[in-house]
A and B are shown apart, each in its own frame.
Chain A
Amino acid sequence: MSNLINEALPDAEAQCRQLADLIRPQLSKNPALVGIYSGGAWIAERLKELLGLTEDIGLIDVSFYRDDFAEKGLHPQCRPTVIPFDVEGRHLILVDDVLYTGRTTRAAINELFDYGRPAAVELAVLADRGGRELPVAPTYGAWDVKLTDAQNLVLDRNDHGQLAWRLENV
Chain B
Amino acid sequence: MYNPQLNKNGELAHLLSIEGLPKSILTQILDTAASFMEVSARDVKKVPLLRGKSVFNLFFENSTRTRTTFEIAAKRLSADVINLDINKSSASKGETLLDTIDNLVAMHANLFVVRHASSGAPYLIAEHLQRIGRDDVHVVNAGDGRHAHPTQGLLDMYTIRHYKKDFTQLRVAIVGDILHSRVARSDIHALTTLGVPEVRAIGPETLLPKHLDKLGVHVYHDMNEGLKDVDVIIMLRLQNERMTGALLPSAGEYFRHYGLTPQKLALAKPDAIVMHPGPMNRGVEIHSAVADGSQAVILPQVTFGIAVRMAVMSIVAGN
Contacts and interface: CB of A to CB of B under 8 A. Distances in A.
Interface string B8-42: 00010000000000000000100110110111001
A69 B35 contact: no
A74 interface: yes
Contacts of A74: 32, 49, 314-315, 318
A2 B298 CA distance: 60
B8 to A, nearest CB: 14
A77 B11 CA distance: 13
B43 A116 contact: yes
A115 B35 contact: no
A156 B315 CA distance: 28
Contact of A65 (B34, B38, B48, B319): B48
A64 interface: yes
Interface in B53-87: none
Nearest to B315: A74
B246 interface: no
A164 interface: no
How large, as a class, is the contact surface on chain B?
20 to 34
How large, as a class, is the contact surface on chain A?
20 to 34
B315 A64 contact: no
A56 B261 CA distance: 44
B46 A114 contact: yes
A81 interface: yes
Interface string B277-319: 0000000000000000000000000000000000000110111
Contacts, number: 50
Interface-central residue, B34, B46, B49, by most chain A CB under 10 Å: B49
A114 B49 contact: no
A74 B39 CA distance: 16
A22 interface: no
A80 B47 contact: no
Contacts of B49: 64, 69, 74
Contacts of B38: 80-82
Contacts of B39: 64, 81
A72 interface: yes
B300 to A, nearest CB: 17
Interface in A134-159: none
B1 interface: no
Interface in A20-67: 61, 63-65
B44 interface: yes
Given A74-B32, A80-B37, A64 B319 contact: no
Interface string B102-131: 000000000000000000000000000000
A13 to B, nearest CB: 30
B35 A81 contact: yes
A73 interface: yes
A4 interface: no
A125 to B, nearest CB: 24
22 contacts: A63-B35, A64-B47, A64-B49, A64-B314, A65-B47, A72-B318, A73-B11, A73-B315, A73-B317, A73-B319, A74-B315, A79-B31, A80-B35, A80-B37, A80-B38, A81-B39, A82-B38, A110-B48, A114-B43, A114-B44, A114-B47, A115-B44
Interface of B: 11, 28, 31-32, 34-35, 37-39, 42-44, 46-49, 314-315, 317-319
